[in-house]
Structure 1
Amino acid sequence: MLVRTLVFVSVAAVLATQVPRFIEKDAETVPATVSAADVAAATPASLPSGVALLKADGRGHYTGSFKMNGKPVEGLVDTGASLVAINETTARRLGISIAGLDFKYPISTANGRTDAALITLQRVEIGTVRVEKVEAFVLRDKALSNTLIGMSFLKRLDAYAAEGDTMRLTR
C-alpha cells in the first residue's frame, strides 16, 4: 500500500512539473485561425451578432470590458471559477445592497479560503454576446481585487475557445 502511494505521488509530481511544458510547446505549434490584426480590426460592428473576441494580456489572461446589469466592468475570464465573482465595491456599483447579502458560502480562492454571498445578475454581456440571469458570488474586497468571469457565464454560451492570444465567445 505504501509503495502504491509513493508511486502515485511520484507520478503526480512528474506530471505537475512536465505537463505545462508540453502544453506550452503544443500551443506554439498550433496555428491560430484568428490573427492579432483580425482582433485589432474587429469592432462590435464588424463581428457577427453574438460573437465577441478577447485579447490575451501580457500574462496570457483573457480580459475584456463586460457589462453587468448594464454597467461597465473589466473582467478576467477564469474557466476555473464555478461562478462569476465580483467584490463588494463592484456589487455596490451595480446597485446591489451589501447589507442584505448573506456571506455563508465557503469557497477557496487563490488567496485562500473565504466566504461569499450568492446573487443573480440580471445580465452579463460583452459586445453582442448577452446572457440573462447569471449566478455570481460576491466576495469581500480583501478577498478579490478584480472581477472573474466564471463558468456560470461561459457554460451558457454556444461556444468559447482560445486560439493563440485570442478567445472567441459565441452565443
Structure 2
Amino acid sequence: MWRFIVIFLFCAALAPLVPYLADRYVAPEAPQGDQNGRTSTSVDRTHRIPVSRNGQYFATALLNGRRYELLVDTGASSTALPRSVAEDVGVYPDDEEFKYRVNTANGTTSAARVVIRSFEMGDIFLRDVEALVLQDESLSKPLLGMSVLSRLERFDISNSTLVLVQ
C-alpha cells in the first residue's frame, strides 16, 4: 500500500512540470490560417525591426525552427539562403537542382529553388516559403526577400524602423 502512495505522490509532484516539458520538447504549432498564415482574427501580427548602425535591416527569424539572422533586401525577388544554412534547416537541394541563373551583388550564379516549411519572425508566421539556395561562396548571409515580404499585408519604414504587418 505504501508503494502506491509513494508513486502517487511522486506523480503528483511531477504534474506541474508537464506543460513546461511539453512546450520544450514539442514543436510549437502554427496558428491556423490561409496560405499566407493569416488567421481569421482581425488582429494584425506586427513585427518591428530597428535599423542597424550601417543603415540596413537585419531580421532574426526561425526557418524550420532554426534561428538565423537575415538581411532584409526589398530588391531581392526571392528569399535566398547559402547552401550551408539551407542544409542546417533541413533543406538539401541536389547538385543538379542548381539550374536557375540569378544575378547577385557578386555576379551571376546558379541557384536551386526550395521551400521552407515554416518561417517565423516574432508574431509573423508563414508556411511553405519559396526560396533560392546559392552556394556559400556566392552568398555569405541569408537574405529576406520579396518571397516573404509580398505575402505580408504590408511593410513600411517609420522612424528608422521597418514595420512588417501580417
TM-score norm. by structure 2 comes to 0.71
Structure with larger Rg: 2
1:91 to 86, 89, 96: 86
Residue of structure 1 in register with 2:54 after alignment: 59
Cα distance, 1:104 vs structure 2: 0.2
Conserved? CA contact 1:49–1:128, under 8 Å: no
Unaligned runs of 5+ in 2: 1-42
% same residue: 35
Q: Superposition RMSD on alpha carbons, in Å? A: 1.4
Query: Amino acid of the residue matched to residue 96 of structure 1?
Result: V
Greater mean alpha carbon deviation, residues 158-167 or residues 144-153:
158-167
Higher helix content, 1 or 2: 1
Unaligned runs of 5+ in 1: 1-47
**Secondary structure at 1:61 match in 2:** coil
Query: Amino acid of the residue matched to residue 119 of structure 1?
Result: V
Cα distance, 1:92 vs structure 2: 1.1
1:105-144 Cα deviation digits (max 9, x unpaired): 0000000000000001112121011111110000000000
Greater mean alpha carbon deviation, residues 142-151 or residues 89-98:
89-98
Do structure 1's residue 72 and structure 2's residue 35 form an aligned pair? no
Q: State the aligned residue count.
A: 124
Conserved? CA contact 2:93–2:112, under 8 Å: no
Distance in 2 between residues matched to 1:163 and 1:69, nearest whole Å: 29
TM-score norm. by structure 1 comes to 0.69
Conserved? CA contact 1:49–1:129, under 8 Å: no
Distance in 1 between residues matched to 2:77 and 2:44, nearest whole Å: 26
Query: Amino acid of the residue matched to residue 130 of structure 2?
Result: E
Alignment of 1:12-161 (within 5 A): 50-99=45-94, 102-161=97-156
Distance in 2 between residues matched to 1:61 and 1:124, nearest whole Å: 21
Distance in 2 between residues matched to 1:101 and 1:160, nearest whole Å: 36
